Amino acid sequence: MYFPTTRMRRLRKNEKIRNMVRETKVSNEDLIYPIFFKDGLGDFEKEPISSMPGEYRYSLKAGVEYAMHLEELGLKSIIVFGVPFAEQKDEVGTPAFIDDGIVQKAIRAIKENTNLVVISDVCLCQYTSHGHCGLIAENDDTDFGLEILNDETLEYLAKVAVSHAKAGVDIVAPSDMMDGRVEAIRCGLDEAGFENVAIMSYSAKYASAFYEPFREAACSSPGLGNRRSYQMDPANATEAIRECELDVIEGADFLMVKPGLPYLDIIRMIKEEFPLPLVTYNVSGEYSMIMAAIEKGYLTDRAIYETLLSFKRAGADLIITNFAPYVLENNMLD
């Protein structure tokens, strides 16, 4: 029957009924907070990230203290990024896989002081002198005269993952977009005796304009050219299915779509296609534009929860987001 017998507003008339029939919810278990640790800061120093309002690079002690605070608020998972000493960077990203690297130290300290699930970003861009996610060689046939060497990079990515596993990480998250890196990392972890360390692959990672604030935060902008030869073309959708399928075959335990907001259709596609847990990364540009709009008064902070809700509604199981502290501190979750 139709109106007036059928009235959709009956299920919206007050908050109790709206909560009863709500189809999608966001909880604290869904959120993963990305935290930046930087070498060279004072003991409890934190350094503002100018392009990300309210976000900081942390010294080891300051970052661990903040992680403990977030755990008290209900956070369950954290993903660690590192910013090494600039003078340590080299052609192969050595600071990414040394035992006393900033990420390795941060993993150990967080595991010793919290019960958080600790995830680590596995990539080379923050650690290489050239700022690319893989080894490089001159090649006049490429867009900017440099070729990112896929196969030669795999050995180094596996070394990074194993070094994180030795430090005690629960999950490694390769973000480099080299072909075959999930298999290389899985083999490296298993051979080193870390068969229980899971892989959260950045499976469908697009060459997006929304990464710019992160590149400032992690000091990881490429010195020459761009990353379009290894990150995905934003125009492509079915290619994301192929990328995810290969990661599943190679042994990924989680799949990921990055960025989030401009790629809700991709999240839905991947969720319908694969039975693995699906992560989306609510990236720095998405965070910064919403925070800037809130600061200007163009939006209210309701836009934050609505953004997170859109990821869950599209099919994401987990969300990496810089909004995690805000929503926890302001009791915004269901």
Provide the pLDDT for residue 223.
65
**Do residues 256 and 266 make contact, with C-beta atoms less than 8 angstroms apart?**
no
Query: Is the pTM here over 0.75, yes or no?
Result: yes
The sign of the torsion formed by the CA atoms of 173, 177, 178, 182 equals positive
Q: Helix or strand or coil: residue 35?
A: strand
**CA triple 40-43-44, angle to 5 deg:** 115
CATH architecture of 23-329: Alpha-Beta Barrel (3.20)
- Which pLDDT score, from 0 to 100, does residue 38 have? 96
Q: Smallest Cα–Cα separation from 172: which of 102, 253, 113, 231? A: 253
Instruction: Give catalytic status of residue 205 as yes or no.
Output: yes
- Cβ-Cβ contacts under 8 Å for 70 (sequence gap 6 or more): 33, 78, 324, 325, 328
Pairwise pLDDT comparison (138 vs 107), residue with the higher score: 107
**What confidence score (pLDDT) does residue 150 get?**
95
Q: What percent of the chain has pLDDT over 90?
A: 88
Locate 117 and state its tokens. 């699930």
The C-alpha atoms of residue 172 and residue 170 are separated, in whole angstroms, by: 7
CA distance linking residue 147 with residue 135, whole number of Å: 8
Q: Which residue has the tokens 């590149």?
A: 215
Mean per-residue pLDDT, 142-146: 80
Q: What is the pLDDT of residues 145-157, one digit of tens each?
A: 888 899 999 999 9
Q: Report the mean per-residue pLDDT for the chain.
A: 95
Is the pLDDT confidence value at 228 over 90? no
Judge residue 43's burial from the number of C-beta atoms within 10 Å of its C-beta, 0-12 exposed, 13-18 middle, 19 or more buried. Answer: exposed
Least confident of 52-66, 67-81, 201-215, 294-308: 201-215
Task: For residue range 298-329, list pLDDT tens digits in order.
Answer: 999 999 999 999 999 999 999 999 999 999 99
3-class DSSP assignment, residue 4? coil
How many CB atoms within 10 Å of residue 71? 18
Note the pLDDT tens digit of each residue in 240-277.
999 999 999 999 999 999 999 999 999 999 999 999 99
* Percent over 70 (pLDDT), the chain: 98
Mean pLDDT of 111-121: 98
Q: Residue ranges per domain, the chain?
A: 23-329
Which of 258, 271, 296, 312 is flagged as catalytic?
258
pLDDT of residue 243: 98
Q: Pick the catalytic residue: 46, 205, 271, 312?
A: 205
213 or 301: which carries more pLDDT confidence? 301
Per-residue pLDDT at 229 exceeds 90: no
pLDDT digits (tens, 9 = 90+) for 158-198: 999 999 999 999 999 999 999 999 999 999 999 999 999 99
Q: What is the per-residue pLDDT for 326?
A: 97
Q: Cα separations (Å) of 293 from 208, 277, 286, 307?
A: 20, 32, 11, 14
pLDDT at 143: 79
CB 200 within 8 A of CB 253: yes
Nearest C-alpha neighbor of 307 from the set 297, 295, 322: 322
State the pLDDT at residue 127.
94
- Give residue 134's region: left, alpha or beta (phi > 0; psi -120 to 50): beta
Residues 269-279: pLDDT tens digits? 999 999 999 99
Whether 312 is a known active-site residue: answer no
CB 332 within 8 A of CB 304: yes
